[in-house]
Amino acid sequence: IENYRRAAWLQENVDGLALRYLLQRRSIREADQIYRQATRPLLWAARYFRPLEREEHLVFVDATGGRVFAYRHVLDENAPGASLSLEQARALAERALAQGGFKLADFELQDSQAEKRKAREDYTFVWQAKPGDSRNVGDEHYRATVEIAGDQVVNLSRSFKLPEDWEREWTATRLPGVILTGIAVLLFAGLVGGAILLFVIQVRSGKVPWRASAKAGVFLALLMLLLELNRLAVIESAYQTSIPLSTYHVIIALGSFVGPLLGGLFGWLLIGFVTSLYPEAWRVFRGGSPRAWRRDAALAIALSVAAAAALARLEALVASRFHAYAPVRIGLVPSGLDAFWPGPGFFLHALLYGAVAAAAAAVLIRLVRLGLHYHAWWLWAGGLLLLVTLGPARAHSLPEFLLGWGLGLLTVTVAVGIVLAFFRNNILAYVGAAFCLQVAEPLVSLFSQPLSFFRWNGAVLALLVPAVLAWLLLAVRERPAHH
């Protein structure tokens, strides 16, 4: 182990297609119990490797219990090894199954394959749970697969074997889905085209504050750079050992530099564009927001967070009642929990998202206002396209589409209602709400983790969030105007 490099990351071990099959035939609670009995949904993956060598070791640890759940040994195809007989290999595989916690009496051998390598014999054995096993649902069967290379057990995996006809039907591309995807692309292209046209008009009018917005672009680039540095803990998880490690590090370094550079350039253009449309937005950055803005923004932020929580709860209730048709959402933990410092990482991401999302919302609102002012046909056409695309493009039945469409329509209706009633032209409210909505879930997730490291990161995040809100809503007096 001392001669190996190491990388560790969180990995969601959930087959969405298998979960969909279970939910069509069992309740959410029953499907969850079956899945947790069959496997572990969330794992820490630890990789041990040496540059320019094919051989590596992968250890999978249950993120909840902290115990080793699975192990995989990757060997070169030409690596030397023993050539066992079929009976010897099967006996070795059965011992591995027993050591992995399986009861052989509950399984029957479904398939065995031998593969002759250059300097060894490899085997693959597939066991299937016997009829009546609680992990078998309908025509789906629970399986355990053991792979042997020479005289070594190199992998023991668990899976659900789905009915081929059902799997083919659910993975097939459908014409309605293609049409819905095309409509969504058309709608997005129209919005981007309208934003670009409006941007050109603002540039030609000389209203874009290039120098002032450049500072905002630099700030966004620094946020992105810090986020990239915080993710260095997991960069070697994707390293291909066929290339030198130094080459891979150079590629990563270039990406870590170019990405924030391009992001900062985009932020410069976006902030300059938005502040040319709404010059009063600079008050948010300079801490001179009017008292009325701060008061109304506090109410709007609290209401938007409460509405998001209520919508999430309602969606969970609907999914529990109509689990056979509800969209399958996995998302066990927020992305970024395996960074060096997850708490500050979530904070930086929320700052970045708050600025960009509020700016994008400002552009969208200006386009809508222009359409209403000129009674433009494209506004109503875009609204109709939006209504159509609220349903899931990959729906396989009318009830599934209508359920997803109804939830999407409810979300859009609530969001538009809150904007019209409380946000209006309060730029501070958009920035604060976008920021808070991004930190709410990570805060809950960090404090719910069993390890103290994550709870301490949650405490750091819980201290940083009020500091930002205080700066936005409380700290600064209105500056007197200069005559």
Question: Which are the contacts of 320, defined by CB distance < 8 A and separation ≥ 6?
Answer: 27, 28
Q: Name the residue among 81, 67, 240 with its Cα closest to residue 150.
A: 81
pTM given for the model: 0.89
d(CA 224, CA 315) in angstroms, rounded, equals 32
Q: Name the residue among 364, 360, 348, 334 with its Cα closest to residue 221.
A: 348
pLDDT value of position 482: 46
CB atoms within 10 A of CB 202: 17
pLDDT value of position 428: 87
279 burial level (CB within 10 Å; 0-12, 13-18, 19+)? exposed
User: What's the chain's Rg over C-alpha atoms?
Assistant: 27
pLDDT value of position 287: 62
pLDDT value of position 425: 83
CB 286 within 8 A of CB 473: no
pLDDT value of position 368: 92
pLDDT value of position 241: 92
pLDDT value of position 272: 93
For the chain, 483 residues long, the average pLDDT of each consecutive 10-residue run is 87 91 92 91 93 93 89 92 92 93 92 92 95 92 95 94 92 89 92 94 92 93 95 92 94 93 95 91 71 84 94 92 87 87 95 93 92 89 90 88 93 92 87 93 92 94 92 63 43
